[in-house]
Structure 1
Amino acid sequence: MFLSVIDGAVLILVLLSYLGALTQKDLIKCVVLTGLGGLGLAYIFTSLLAPDVALTEAILGGAVLPAFFAFTVMRTQRFDEIEE
């Protein structure tokens, strides 16, 4: 089974999304990029004919975990705000 051009492009975007999340200093941007990577992985799992894994990844990796991470980031303070 070969991946199509669209699947390859989505896979590259997923990798770039996760690499971008690793290099960001702003935590909200990291959360957004991680959520986009999770949704991209859900698409890849769908194209690989694994709908159960795709559904789980879309729910957890694309919605639930980014929401929890965003909530946690919003509840924390930055070091810049503490010093002032």
Structure 2
Amino acid sequence: MEIIHYIVIIMTLLSSLASLLQRDLIKCIILSGFAGLCMAYLYYALLAPDVALTEAILGGAILPALFAFTVRRTQRIDE
């Protein structure tokens, strides 16, 4: 494995953990979308381009957009 793969794995883990620890939902959505794009890269590096394309479309674009739309449509209560 090349060094870039290890960097992407670490970025995936850090962005996933950061999204779990966020209190702001929009930041959580952005970080989880970034983790999805990192996973898409890892799938592509593992020679699974069909899975990578599906992950990039769903995990990196459609689901974060739907979550952001849902958060914007609901009432936000700041503490």
Displacement of 1:76 after TM fit?
A: 1.0
Structure 2 residue runs of 5 or longer lacking an equivalent are none
48, 70, 73: which one pairs with 1:72? 70
Higher Rg:
1
Is structure 2 residue 54 aligned with structure 1 residue 34?
A: no
SS of alignment partner, residue 25 of structure 1: coil
Separation (CA, whole Å) in 1 of partners of 2:15 and 2:78:
27
Separation (CA, whole Å) in 1 of partners of 2:16 and 2:73:
23
Note the aligned Cα RMSD (angstroms). 1.2
- Runs of 4+, deviation exceeding 6 Å: none
Structure 1 residue runs of 5 or longer lacking an equivalent are none
58, 61, 64: which one pairs with 1:63? 61
Displacement of 1:80 after TM fit?
A: 3.6
Q: How many residues align?
A: 79
Name the amino acid aligned to 1:12.
I
Name the amino acid aligned to 1:34.
S
Match of 2:17 in 1: 19
